[in-house]
Amino acid sequence: MTQTLSTTPAADGFWMPAEYEPHAGCWMLWPERADNWREAARPAQFAFVGVATAIAQFEPVTVGVSAAHYEIARTFLPPSVRVVELAHDDSWMRDVGPTFVVNKRRDVRGVDWHFNAWGGLNGGLYFPWDQDDLVARKVLEVENRDRYRSAIINEGGALHVDGEGTVLVTEECLLNANRNPHLNREQIEEQLRAYLGVSTVIWLGKGVFNDETDGHVDNLACFIRPGEIALGWTDNKRDVQHAISLDAWERLQDAVDARGRKLKVHKLPMPRPLSISAKEAAGVVSREGTKARPAGERLAGSYVNFYIANGGVVMPLLDPRTDKEAAAKLKRLFPDRRVVGVPAREVLLGGGNIHCITQQVPAGKH
Ligand code: KQY
């Protein structure tokens, strides 16, 4: 039986390992809601099948699906992917799933963050979110891992760690009044130290322009190995994204990680500005209380939103004009992994990308 622990990971000698460390597997959820995904989520379902299939070449994948969609998900997903019934409000496993932590003996436990749909009633993306908030606990039950229930509202996409004591976050998200308004920067840092087992917090400013998560770091920058970061970049000074990426670049130049290293920052080209077409917008059922998807709205497209699997990197394909350059750069950044591109515009239309819909389980002792 899994237990809910009343201590914290740091107090128990646990920390979050980096995504580039070995995995036992990967969890995803099935997209279903017609007020977020166009055409009753069917094109998104095909895109999620592509992502699950690509990751399953490298490690075991489990997809959680509602009872109503079980049959269709089981039909579309390959037999190598495990499908389990799991209620949810939408399909962002990075944010609603557990953040796994390990100790020296490689015992594995999970952090279950409080979740408020990226802002609750103050700018959140839908209501209610009660089923999403139960997902991490249910995944931990299936994985048979003990659980820490965090004290704060947070999401897995709002953080990236190097596995050696450093976490990367954005002020736009972590200090947003719609997450933990009662806590200041130092108190948020204290919570990150307690629940991620880190000692150093590197603060970036804003996330990708028009990112509806309030600037999740996982769309802008990530560790690719200790001491090295990939940063979404555009040279186009007329694009509002340029100033955001430049600010992140400057902060990263000044930063020192938990081991006292200066960081090496690699610029990963971003796609050109992308926006939702009239046809795509018309396919989404608008609903009061759920984020609208108006035609012409800029999408927060970024190639940084990739997933690092065992021996592989699964990256979003977003625009034929820029996909090849981004894939070539990722191949250079990950010479020992196979880079696989998956068409992901449909995931982007729902507000995130491949990293946002996946959650790795670190390899550990059973
Ligand atoms: O960035 C992420 N980790 C999640 C994106 C969520 C978008 C909700 N529509």
Tell me which residue has its CA closest to atom 2 in ligand 1. 356
Band the pLDDT of 1: cuts 50, 70, 90.
confident
Residue 278 is predicted with a pLDDT of 98
**What is the pTM for the complete model shown?**
0.98
Say yes or no: CB of residue 351 within 6 Å of ligand 1: yes
Residue 323 is predicted with a pLDDT of 98
Residue 179 Cα to ligand 1 midpoint, Å, equals: 15
Residue pLDDT, tens place only, 95-141 = 999 999 999 999 999 999 999 999 999 999 999 999 999 999 999 99
Reply yes or no on whether the pLDDT at 45 is more than 80: yes
Q: Which helix (H) or strand (E) holds 280?
A: helix 278-282
Virtual CA dihedral for 166, 93, 57, 327, nearest 10 degrees?
Answer: -60
Which two three-digit tokens encode residue 259? 């081991």
Residue 356 Cα to ligand 1 midpoint, Å, equals: 6
**Pocket of ligand 1, candidates 216, 217, 346: which has the most ligand atoms within 8 Å of its Cβ, to mutate?**
216
Percent of the chain topping pLDDT 70? 100
**Pocket of ligand 1, candidates 297, 354, 356: which has the most ligand atoms within 8 Å of its Cβ, to mutate?**
356
**CA 107 – CA 243 distance, rounded (Å):** 42
Kindly list the strands in the beta sheet with 307-309, ordered across the sheet, starting from the edge strand earlier in the chain. Answer: 307-309, 312-317, 338-343
Tell me which residue has its CA closest to atom 4 in ligand 1. 356
Residue 105 Cα to ligand 1 midpoint, Å, equals: 33
Active site residue 222: no
Residue 50 Cα to ligand 1 midpoint, Å, equals: 18
CB 290 within 8 A of CB 126: yes
Say yes or no: CB of residue 193 within 6 Å of ligand 1: no
Residue pLDDT, tens place only, 143-181 = 999 999 999 999 999 999 999 999 999 999 999 999 999
Kindly list the strands in the beta sheet with 221-225, ordered across the sheet, starting from the edge strand earlier in the chain. Answer: 221-225, 228-233, 264-269
Residue pLDDT, tens place only, 225-276 = 999 999 999 999 999 999 999 999 999 999 999 999 999 999 999 999 999 9
Residue pLDDT, tens place only, 308-359 = 999 999 999 999 999 999 999 999 999 999 999 999 999 999 999 999 999 9
Reply yes or no on whether the pLDDT at 307 is more than 80: yes
Atom of ligand 1 nearest to the CA of 355: 3
